[in-house]
Structure 1
Amino acid sequence: MAFLRYAMFLCLVSMVFCQENMDVEFDLLPRPLIIEYPETRFKNMTEELLMQCTSWRVAVESNNLGPWITIPTECADYVEEYMSGRAYDFDLQTVSKEARVYAKSLELGDDGMDAWVFDVDETLLSNLPYYSDHGFGLEVFDCAQFDRWVVEGVAPVIKPSLKLYEEVSSLGFKIMLLTGRSEDKRNATATNLINAGIDEWDKLILRSESDQGKSAVAFKSEKRKEITDEGYRIIGNYGDQWSDLVGTSVASRSFKLSNPMYHIP
């Protein structure tokens, strides 16, 4: 009996020892439920500053801030990290998905006069390669410098927007591209769009000489009115600035893409 108790004791000790070893080995293995992301610039920001910059971006996107010229200096790293990281892409995908769900839920008229309006910059085409060289909105906007970039015609497509464009095109919407770019950039803009996969549209509307000096809200409202005066129904509108979407002759439903880099009144 004593021998049996001793044997059981050794067995228990062995099990504990093995369990301890297993625990140690388990700790050395990857934990599949823990997702580790690369370090970001946010690690250099205090919690208070991070909250302030996040609050500032939310206020920008909800149109609660007045006209502003540049992003806050103290939020430069925050904006760069957001625009260059996964969060911006997730936000674009979310809006694109919601717009596609809306578009597919509609029954279009038989007359072919249902239209969808798209902005161009930071909506269909991304100027991130340009803004990455100019502080992601930290520098005061230089029109001449930006125009040289536009003429190059190399802006990449925003993929979630391309997906929406393809969806509404296949559904039978008339595609109206309405941009604040000047008329003299028509060829460069059209070529860039085609090379990026936006290869068909019904109208490409740019600022004529008589439109210079008008606010974006006034210019785009006037052009939307011209569209509706022709008998079109603007069912959807998709842009990165509130000035793309508000004013008069607005769409049945508008979709705002994120853009904390600049503000166009």
Structure 2
Amino acid sequence: MSVALRKARVGIVVATAALLGLAGTVDAQALDGDRARASSAVTVPSAAAAVDYETWKADVTKVIDGEARPYLEQRIQNGGGQKQAIVLDIDNTSLETYFQLFPPTPAVQPVLDLAKYANEHGVGVFFITARPDVLDDVTRGNLKYVDYPITGLYQRPLGDIFGDAAEFKTAKRAEIESLGYTIIANIGNNTSDLVGGHAERTFKLPDYDGQLS
């Protein structure tokens, strides 16, 4: 299955959840009763059983805490007055979509901690996702619910959902740069999240040969 089709499938399932009232607009008040479940439960669909959750968490932590965080701390310190930004993918980068598809989906904790650190130090936090833009309320609400700072959120037009994800994401990073930002780090779990330039450094999280794409 192609990356575009996998990404589209995620969008379709999340949209279905919204239509069934499982996600809605995902505002904080509507989800208060689900907070404990969202922060601790791991629901693994049968098709996802091949990826071990604890192994995945450990592998993510190695990249974020072992590589991205030290780099980011040093790069921010040496910012030289630049208007800095980081760019994050969403599914299986910022949110644990593979393990809990229906919103509210828990945050990927090391990535959330990194985003908060960046935000606290004046760095813009942008999200670029292949999810369709008709899911803006669901996606934005989920990110806010798990406390991500959001400087900007870019989602694909519904008519482009099966288009080239790498081209879309590259164009949006260029658009962020046009706003005066220097993108000091770009983090994703798929090659399409990271290719195309317009970022000083890229950090790839595990996708286990496309299983988490």
Q: Tell me the TM-score normalised to structure 1 length.
A: 0.57
Deviations 1:188-226 (A, max 9, x none): 11111111121x221111112464432111110111111
Structure with bigger helix share is: 1
Query: Does the CA contact (< 8 Å) of 1:116 and 1:234 recur in 2?
Result: yes
Q: Which amino acid aligns with 2:52?
A: M
Partner Cα separation in structure 1 for residue 188 and residue 173 of structure 2: 14
Determine the structure 1 residue equivalent to 2:71.
102
Runs of 4+ residues over 6 Å off in structure 1: none
CA distance in 1, matches of 2:72, 2:84: 11
> Does 1:161 pair with 2:111?
yes
* Secondary structure at 2:162 match in 1: coil
Identity of aligned residues (%): 29
Which residue, 180, 198, 201 being the options, matches 1:253?
201
1:114 paired residue among 59, 79, 84 = 84
* Closer/same/farther in 2, CA of residues 109 and 205 from structure 1, 3 Å limit: farther
Question: Which residue of structure 1 lines up, in the alignment, with residue 122 of structure 2?
Answer: 172
Instruction: Kindly indicate whether the alpha-carbon contact (under 8 Å) linking 2:100 and 2:106 is maintained by their aligned counterparts in 1.
Output: no
Is the Cα–Cα contact under 8 Å of residues 179 and 205 in structure 1 kept in the other structure? yes
Alpha-carbon distance between aligned partners in 1 of 2:79 and 2:50, rounded to the nearest angstrom: 41
Change (3 A) 1:218 1:87: same
Q: Distance in 2 between matches of 1:210 and 1:168?
A: 33
Distance in 2 (CA, whole Å) between partners of 1:114 and 1:83 is: 35
| 1: CA distance, partners of 2:80 / 2:124 | 12
Larger RCO: Structure 1 or Structure 2 (Cα < 8 Å, ≥ 6 residues apart)? 2
Greater radius of gyration (CA): 1
Q: Does 1:192 align with 2:145?
A: no
Cα deviations across residues 7-50 of structure 1 (Å, max 9, x unaligned)? xxxxxxxxxxxxxxxxxxxxxxxxxxxxxxxxxxxxxxxxxxxx
Aligned to 1:88: 56
- TM-score, length-normalised on structure 2? 0.70
- The number of aligned residues is 168
Tell me the residue number matched to 2:172. Answer: 223
Aligned partner of residue 252 in structure 1, secondary structure: coil
SS at 1:235's partner residue? Answer: strand
Structure 2: distance between partners of 1:211 and 1:228: 22
> Which has the larger displacement, 155-164 or 254-263?
254-263
Gaps of 5+ in 2: 7-45
Matching residue of 1:181: 131
Letter in 1 for 2:203: F
Task: Confirm or deny that 1:204 pairs with 2:172.
Answer: no
Q: Residues 208, 159 of structure 1: CA spacing in aligned structure 2 closer, same or farther, 3 A cutoff?
A: same
Partner Cα distance (1:221, 1:82) in 2: 29
Structure 1 residue runs of 5 or longer lacking an equivalent are 1-65, 71-76, 132-148
